[in-house]
Every structure is written in C-alpha cells, then in structure tokens.
Chain A
Amino acid sequence: MIQIIKRISLVCTLICLAGCNAPQIPPEAKLAEEQELSLWRSGAQVYLPVQYDQYRANFLKARTDLFRENSRFVWFRNYEPVRSELKNVLREGNLLSVQLEQRKQSLHDSIREDIISLQNRIDKLKELTWKINEGRLARRDLVKAEILLLETRKCYEENDLKKAEERMNMIADHLYAAESILFPIFNRYADKNQIMKWKQWVEDTIRESKAHHITSLVVNKSERVLIVYKKGLQYKTYPIGLGLSGSQDKLHAGDRATPEGRYRITKKLPRSKYHKALLINYPNEDDRRQFQIAKEKGLVPNQTEIGGLIEIHGGGKDIMTYGCIAMNNRDIDGLFNIVKVGTPVTIVGAVNSENSLSSHLEGL
C-alpha cells in the first residue's frame, strides 16, 4: 500500500514538475485575436469581404489548432507549428490591413468626387427647372435626390463609406426621372429642324407685315417676349408669361401648353378677368390635323377635345396660365391700342439654335 502511495506521489510530482515546465501559449495567439477584431472594426468584412473571409478562415483554423495543442498532455505539447501558422495569419492580416486602407482611401476619394459631381448635376438640373414652367414637374425628384445627397454627405463625413455609397446609388433613379421630364422639352429648343420651321414662320410673318404694311405679333417662347412688327420692322418688345406647360406645343384641351403656329386675333376684349384680352384663332387647320394624328396614335386621352380660348391677356408676366400668353397690365394696354381683329400672331419656340433654353443643355 505504502509502495503504491509512493508511486502515485512520484507520478504527481513528475506531473507537477512537467507542468511547471509546460510550453507557453505563443504570444502571437493574442496578437492574432486583437488583429482580427481590429480588422473587423475597420470594416474589412464590408470593404474587402472575399479577402476577409479567406483571412478569417485561416485565423479560425489557427485558433482551432491552438485549442488542439492546448488539449494535449503537457509533455506532448508543441506550439511551434501553431506559432508558425499564427505568424502567417498575422502576416496575412497586416497585408489585409494595408489593402483595406487603400480600398477605403480610394472609395473615400471616389465618393468625394461623386458627391461634387452629383451636386453639380442637381444644381444644373435645378437651374433648368427655373427656365421653364414645367420645371416644377421635375422638382419633386430633384428634392428627393438632394435629400439622399445630404444623407450621403453625412455618411461620408462619418466615414461610413459603404452606406454613403448605397445612398448615392439611389440618387441616379431620381435624377433620371427629373431628366426624362426636362430633356425632351429642352431638346425641342436645340432641334435644328424644329428651329428652322419656327424661323420660317417668323420670316413669313415679317415679310407679310412688310408686304401688306400691317402690324404683326411674334411670340418667342424661349426668350419669353412678344415682339410687335410694323411694316416689317421691329416696333416694340414686351415680356410675357406662358402656360403651366407653356414650353410645349398645345395638343389638346387641358394640357396647359401654349400653342405654336400662325394665328390671328379674332376678338378684342377690353374687359377681362385678366384686365384686357386678345382672343386668337386656336385651333387652326394645322392644329386640328396634328390633334387628329395624335388621337389616332392614342396620344390624346379619350373624350378629350382639342380645346380653345387661347388669349393674350393681362394679369402680370410672372403668372402661369392654362396656355394663354400673359403680359403686364400696362403692356397689354399699349398692345391693345396697336392691334386689331385680324392682326397676325405667330407663336414660336425659338428662332436661333443658340437660345435661352438650348444653351442650358451644355454640360449635361
């Protein structure tokens, strides 16, 4: 019995001695843990997900190997292979950290440039919205784009680049929606064929004024002016306002567009809701033809008529009409005195390729 106790004591002493001399866990283990957490905090899993997954798989394998080594009997523990493995993980982590910083820096720079570029684009589009009455239709989307850009800027300032990128990607849809409203309107004013047609109408009107010694009116939508020609010579120019969709050609009732074409004054109204008014013969033959074609193509809503009662009236040049041409009261007073029933009125978009609307398309 004593012998057995002696043997057990001997074994215990040996174990204790062995324990005292047990190999220490390599310090790289703690460093690797800290490095992994630091990479996660820096967003490696977000900015470099593939590389981070690979690194983390190696990190976890090294940690499992460390556990395996720890679970061995002290006499048989050998941390050298794990240590080498952990060193490789640390090396990989350091490399990942460098790549991460580079990726974040490049993303940072690209977001900063994109924010500036988007802000410029929004500003330019907003500038366009002030040039035409239809601009209001694009403002809703532009405001949404501005709010998203504000959010993007805040995320960028807080260094949350991924979220900034996400927010920024949502802006494109709103800009596209705004552009799809604005560009077709502005493009008409840059279309050479369209301008040639308008220019021809104006030249014919001036020629007629000169040939027949009459007063003729030319309304230029892009410049927002009404020009009075007497005997073919420019006599007076008045500022005007247009319809809510005044930059577009009137097609049917309720479209709030201002018609384009060659008309005549059919009635003079000395008393009107808008001070004084001059009624024109919209729709003319050409308008009726266009309306018919549009209706056959399904471009006009069912039960919709061609419309009418287009006037040149007072009320102020800054107001928006349902398709009429608005003038300051003092100006309509003057005009009222120099026109008569039958006076030609030619309404065009522009007479030059370089007009107030087409020039704003530059850089867009």
Chain B
Amino acid sequence: MRKLLKGIKTFGIVTHVKGIKNIKKRRKTRMKRSTVLFLIVVMAGLLLIGCGKQPVEDINAAQAAVNAVIAEGAEKYAPEDAKMLNDELTAALDEIKVQDGKTMKNYGKAQEMLAKVKADAEALKTSLPVKKEEAKNNALTAQEAAKTAIEDAKKLLAKAPKGKGSRADIEAMKADVKGLEDSLVEVQAAVDAEDYATANAKAKSIQEKAAEVSSQITQAMEKVGVKTQ
C-alpha cells in the first residue's frame, strides 16, 4: 500500500513535472513564432515605408535637369534628343501617378526612370555646346561670305557715274544692293537670337543673290565702257 502510495505520488510528481516542461516548451515555441512574425511584419512595414514615399527630390532633380537642357536650346540643336528626354520624363511621372493610386506604393521603378532622365539630360547638356558652336560657326561663316559678296557688288558700283547722269540700270542695281544690305541686317538679328539655322539659310541666299547682282552690274558697266576689272 505504501509502495502503491509512493508510486502514485511519484507518478503524480513526474506527470506534473512533465506538464510543466510541456507548457514551457509550448510557450517557447509560441514566443519564437511571434518573434519571427513580428520581424516579418516589421520588415514588411519598413519596406513599405521605405518605398512608399513619393520621390519628390528625384522628380525635382530630373525636372530641373530637363528644364536646364531645354533652356540651353536642346529643342533647337538636338530636337529628337529633346523629345526623347521629355517623353522619358513623362513616362517616369506617369509611373509615379500609377503608384500614387495604389495602397502598396513602390516608387522604386519611378526612381530608376527619374535617375535615367537626369543622367540623359546631363549627357545631352554636355554635348549641346558642341552642336551649338557648330551651328553658330556655320552661320557666321555664311554671314561673312554674304558680306564679302555684297562688298564686291558695292566696289563695282563705286565705279559707276553718280547723281545726275547716272544710268537707270545702275541706279536699279544700287537699290538691289541696298535690299541685300537690309537682308544682311536680318541675318545679324537671327544670329543675335541664336537662330543659327535661319541666319545660315538667309546668308546663303543673300550671297547667291549678291553674286547675281554683281554679274548684272558688270554687264551694265561694260555696256557703257566702264572697266570693272
């Protein structure tokens, strides 16, 4: 009986001890699970918070870079590059708009796009002065050639009779030269406005017309026996 009682007591203690151990083990597992879940939640939260803010600084930087390159005359000297740049910026802003409308915002792709816009704008800005300088030089060369052609015509006219006694055709050609000079002023205006393409085209047309006028002056003067050479 005593043995039995002892056995029961022992079993009870053992059972009790085992029970306590199980509870502790379960608690430990639960704690570990909670910790992992907590960490996942925290990480997800951090991720969401990290990517959830609109990249205002990136937008401003890309926008400023594009504006700067446009102000430098990109649309005039590299129109296709300027268009591509504007399109890239629009696409990046569209991507931001899409993310704005979502609960789980992720601006990562938009940031990449904005970074590319900025880099492309800066690259274009670097290459622009070369293109601009080339256009300017072409315009100035054409302007100089036009000036020389007009001077040549004027030199020929200087040999013609002046005032009363001058010939109608010579007077007409003097007026032609005035028209050429007026147009040359427009070339300078285009150069001043950095519209080098217009300046170049106009200067070339003036040069062509001045050569024609010079040839007519020579013919008219030779007709009346004035030596032009």
Contact = CB atoms under 8 A, between A and B. Distances in A.
Interface of A: 1, 4, 37, 40-41, 60, 63-64, 67-68, 71, 129-130, 133, 135-144, 146-148, 150-151, 154-155, 244, 315-316, 318-322
A144 B205 CA distance: 10
| Interface size of B as a range | 35 or more
Contacts of B166: 319-320
Nearest to A170: B186
Contacts of B90: 60
Nearest to A154: B201
Contacts of A136: 168, 171-172, 174-175
Contacts of A318: 167-168, 224
Given A71-B106, A151-B202, A320 B209 contact: no
A126 to B, nearest CB: 9
B33 interface: yes
Contacts of B144: none
Contact of A320 (B102, B164, B179, B213): B164
A64 B208 contact: no
B182 A244 contact: no
Given A60-B90, A141-B179, 19 more contacts: A37-B83, A41-B80, A60-B94, A63-B91, A68-B101, A133-B171, A140-B175, A142-B179, A143-B176, A144-B179, A144-B182, A147-B183, A151-B201, A155-B201, A315-B165, A318-B168, A319-B164, A319-B166, A321-B164
B176 A147 contact: no
Contact of A68 (B33, B98, B169, B208): B98
Contact of A1 (B32, B83, B99, B179): B32
B150 to A, nearest CB: 11
A319 B92 CA distance: 75
Q: Is the interface of A mostly helix, strand, loop or mixed?
A: helix
Nearest to A137: B175
A192 to B, nearest CB: 28
Residue from B102, B109, B165 with most neighbouring chain A CB atoms (10 Å) = B165
A135 B172 contact: yes
B9 interface: no
4 nearest A-B residue pairs (beta carbon): A143-B179, A139-B175, A150-B205, A140-B179
B95 interface: yes
Contacts of B29: 1
Contacts of B169: 130
Contacts of A67: 91, 94-95, 98
B195 to A, nearest CB: 11
Nearest to A143: B179
Contacts of A244: 171
Residue from B102, B166, B168 with most neighbouring chain A CB atoms (10 Å) = B168
A136 B202 CA distance: 23
Interface of B: 29, 32-33, 36, 80, 83, 90-91, 94-95, 97-99, 101-102, 106, 109, 161, 164-169, 171-176, 178-180, 182-183, 201-202, 204-206, 208-209, 213, 224
A189 to B, nearest CB: 17
Contacts of B164: 319-322
Contacts of A142: 179
Nearest to B113: A67
A1 B36 contact: yes
Contacts of B183: 143-144, 147
A113 B201 CA distance: 22
A147 B190 CA distance: 15
Given A244-B171, A322-B164, A139 B80 contact: no
Contact of B178 (A40, A68, A140, A151): A140
Contacts of A139: 172-173, 175-176, 179
Contacts of A144: 179, 182-183
Contact of B209 (A140, A146, A316): A146
Given A136-B174, A244-B171, A147 B206 contact: yes
A154 B106 CA distance: 52
B202 A147 contact: yes
A64 B92 CA distance: 10
B182 A140 contact: yes
A4 B179 contact: no
Contacts of B208: 150
A68 B168 CA distance: 76
Nearest to A126: B172
A130 B176 CA distance: 13
B89 to A, nearest CB: 12
Nearest to A145: B179
A319 B36 CA distance: 111
Nearest to A174: B179
A129 B206 contact: no
B208 to A, nearest CB: 6
